[in-house]
Structure 1
Amino acid sequence: MELKATLKELMDTAGSKASVDVVLKNGNILLRNFHIVEFDEIKSLIKGITMQEQYTSLKEKRNPVYCFFRINEIKEIEIAELVRV
């Protein structure tokens, strides 16, 4: 529940410009500079994209691939930085 509150607060303050590091429970996979695009509180679903994927999709002129995670799949979230546009 604490993770859900942290995500809600982060989305309220930074919106889709929030950049976080995500550690998943299955095998301690680390996603660095993960931008949270949407957060659905009811379904506990996070939609996001890594900075690497953003850059690659622009370079290759293709649609980006988004990641979807449920809150219970996430072990830890560390706020990396606020990206300014």
Structure 2
Amino acid sequence: MPTLRGMGVLRIGVFGSRARGAGRVDSDVDVLVEFEAHRDLLDLVAVKQHLESVLGLPVDVTTPSGLRDSDRPAILRDLRYAA
């Protein structure tokens, strides 16, 4: 099984309802991923599929550059990085 580091992930964190402890059984997992340089959309999709396989839950993945300015403050407030 691939590791996140092997997939080019430098940092990964959870935000949204699950990070706030308000997630329901049917809630997806919102994830912010920071990649090493020269990674692309295919890498993002691979991380999404990997996380969905491991967690058994739907996962929404975004990167810092993919955040809308209007959403950024709330996301950064909720964000919990993995150790």
* TM norm structure 1: 0.28
Kindly indicate which of the two structures has a greater share of residues assigned to strand: 1
* TM norm structure 2: 0.28
